[in-house]
Amino acid sequence: MSNFFSLFMLLGGLCTRVHAHIDIKINACHTNNSDPESMLELDGDEMLYFDYKKSDVVYTMPEFAGQWTFSGWAAQEWNRICLINVGVWAKGENYPPDEIDPPQLTIYTRNKVELGRSNILICFVNNFHPPPVKVKWTKNNVEVKEGVTLSRYYPNSDFTFRQYSTLQFTPQKGDDYSCTVYHKGLTEPETRFWEPDIEDESDIGETAFCGIGLTLGLLGVGAGTFLLVKGNNCS
């Protein structure tokens, strides 16, 4: 039997005197025992989610936004119903194959890069289906496990998913990093590379020296041309 994935999005509306707001309840389940997802969004911002591993509700909105109530029992019930529906739909459709979308990768730093200063590399994995993905980091072709995180997967509006992996690092000249992603939609793992692309002080000094020399040379040529023209006019 193939694996099947289901994503429920329940839309709600909240109107104020001036603005309308959209709240979305999202529940995702998969028959291959991947971690389910249960979360609430308001106007595209996550308010809370249920951590199935810890059986606890995690509130992600700031305290000043007010506390939203959510029952862990409701999340468990959502997931149970989701799995039942997946089984019914899959059987009714004669177990069709999964729709598979390979991920798209982008690697970038959280902060401006300065040699010797701690920073975070982010590997953004987007538009994949179904979850999950596996992410591997390397530094100078050696796998790195310390300082690595992998977020939960988040649903996109087109029913694909996105996920983030981060690596805490201190950039040094000559180092190179890579992020490799594994997914059933890829015929082979896909990799993105990153290395610091900044000039050190010696490079800046050499560039400035060359610039000054070029400027003085051009001034000399200009002055010589001016004197030559003036001399011809006098004669």
- Three-point CA angle 168, 53, 167, nearest 5°: 10
Is the CATH number of domain 5-92 3.10.320.10? yes
Q: What is the pLDDT of residues 23-79, one digit of tens each?
A: 777 778 776 667 788 888 877 778 888 888 888 888 877 655 556 667 777 788 888
User: Containing H/E element for 26?
Assistant: strand 20-30
Residue intervals of the chain classified under CATH 2.60.40.10 are 104-194
Model confidence at 15: pLDDT above 50: no
Q: How confident is the model at residue 176 (pLDDT cuts 50, 70, 90)?
A: very high
Q: pLDDT tens for residues 126-162? A: 999 988 899 999 999 999 999 999 998 888 888 899 9
pLDDT at 168: 96
Q: Which residues of 55-76 are buried (b: 16+ CB within 10 A; e: fewer)?
A: eebebeeeeeeeeeebeeeebe
Question: Nearest 5°: phi and psi at 124?
Answer: -95, 115
Tokens for 115?
């040699």
Reported as a single tens digit per residue, the pLDDT across 84-143 is: 888 888 788 787 777 899 999 999 999 999 999 999 999 999 999 988 899 999 999 999
CB 4 within 8 A of CB 30: yes
Looking at residue 11, what is its pLDDT? 47
Query: What are the tokens at 178?
Result: 């890579």
- Reported as a pLDDT band with limits 50, 70 and 90, residue 10 is low
Banded model confidence at residue 212, pLDDT cuts 50, 70, 90: low
Which residues are 41's β-sheet partners?
Answer: 24, 46
Q: Token pair 């050499």 is at which residue?
A: 206
The secondary structure of residue 117, as a DSSP letter, is S
Query: In the CATH scheme, what is the homologous superfamily, with its name and number, of domain 104-194?
Result: Immunoglobulins (2.60.40.10)
The mean pLDDT of 176-204, rounded to a whole number, is: 86
The pLDDT of residue 227 is 46
Say if residues 164 and 151 touch (Cβ distance below 8 Å): yes
Whether residue 226 is predicted with pLDDT greater than 60 in this model: the reply is no
Which of 8-17, 55-64, 93-102, 206-215 has the weakest average pLDDT? 8-17
- Residues 87, 76, 164, 141: is their CA dihedral positive or negative? negative
> Which residues lie across from 143 on neighbouring strands?
138
Smallest CA-to-CA distance from 189 within 97, 103, 98 is with 103
HSE, side-chain direction, 13 A CA sphere, residue 141:
1
Is-contact 150 163, C-beta < 8 A? yes
Predicted pLDDT at 228: 47
Compute CA distances 159 → 7, 9, 28, 102, 154, whole Å: 7, 10, 10, 13, 10
Average pLDDT of the segment spanning 172-193: 96
